[in-house]
Structure 1
């Protein structure tokens, strides 16, 4: 297979990069990662050289360029069908796609007030009502999915899926700005995501990145 390169933003800051990276990691894909440092004078020009949108992440695979996290996840699902990155059951797969799309396009207040800061803990930032509403909706999604699939494994649909990658940065935010009170099933799910070896790998790299920043 032609080598893949995933261009990602700073691990500490780029939630969308984490989503794409986590899917590829969980799929067992062989890929090279290239960090494009964000919030610097040359960031936009550097990104435009590798990403049509000028944003991260962007996956390069031969002549293919994919510059959206959910599209990268779908591409990985087609490359590695044996990994079952969407649930096999049609109804579960439809729900997984719905909650993934909701994450992809929604929760603007959570993003605005609580940007990802992976290496930080217990910042106890303000939690205005719009953020609380986003948290409550996310907790409801997690609880519904876990109630339906608790017997199949620790993730939203039992086994790890693209939906879990979409919500992984939210788990990070809850650690950074928390502790956030969650219903039991949602809290257990958050712990399962944060305990993933790939999440721990990303976290260690984020800490090293922050420590090495000028």
Structure 2
């Protein structure tokens, strides 16, 4: 398997399936494609007509979209362990993952992932409401260390949010903060972070806020 990813300091969508593959110790290669500059679209077009990252290439087939990739990995390589075993918890985990996949536009727009930075931004009321809502999700569905028990797709999907919260100094409840800390301390995330900190390319649109 080969996973085509974008800049590790910035690309939230690339991070999610990379975490799943790494957490379950699957054998894969990653290939970074720079998202910077006018040539990015042409570079990405060589891997997928969608011209976006991530793309998983397996058995000669290109699979795109983060959620589709994670579903494919769970179904074909880890016996469905990307989701909780119990059917109702599995349904809830899928609901939360789909919501993370499609929602929270204010957080995405106002707080781009920037692992290497420590910034402060003036957040809109909508972004603040989304932060409160996500904190509530975490505290409600936390089961021991992770959501619904064992580390899985839903945790992979919320990890970039935890990274955003760290970058911009978002205050959370003690329980939500402890979960965010565990996501960022996961060995797979630590490996990704180490690579992100070595990057030198700057994506101007993601460089927001005031340094602290």
Residue 154 (structure 2) pairs with residue 158 (structure 1): no
Give the aligned length.
203
Distance (whole Å) between structure 1 residues aligned to residue 190 and residue 92 of structure 2: 27
Task: Give 1:175 shift.
Answer: 0.7
1:66 is aligned, of 63, 66, 77, to: 63
Question: What stretches of structure 2 of length at least 5 have no aligned partner?
Answer: 204-212
The answer as to 2:125 corresponding to 1:129 is: yes
> For residues 20 and 161 of structure 1, do their structure 2 counterparts lie closer, same or farther at Cα, with a shift above 3 Å needed?
same
Q: How does 1:80-119 map to 2 (within 5 A)?
A: 80-82=77-79, 84-119=81-116
Partner of 1:76: 73
Structure 2 counterpart of 1:167: 158
Post-superposition offset of 1:188: 1.0
Structure 1 range deviating more: 13-22 or 80-89:
80-89
Q: Which residue of 2 aligns with 1:206?
A: 196
Q: How far apart, in 2, do the equivalents of 1:41 and 1:114 lie?
A: 23
Runs of 4+ in 1 over 2 A off after TM superposition: 80-83, 210-213
More helix by share: 1
Q: Is the 8 A contact 1:118 1:176 kept in 2?
A: yes
Does the residue aligned with 1:6 lie in a helix, a strand or coil?
strand
Normalised by the length of structure 1, the TM-score is 0.91
Helix, strand or coil for the counterpart of 2:200?
helix
Where structure 1 has 5 or more consecutive residues not aligned to the other structure, the ranges are: none
Aligned residue for 1:210, secondary structure, equals coil
Give the match for residue 185 of structure 1: 175
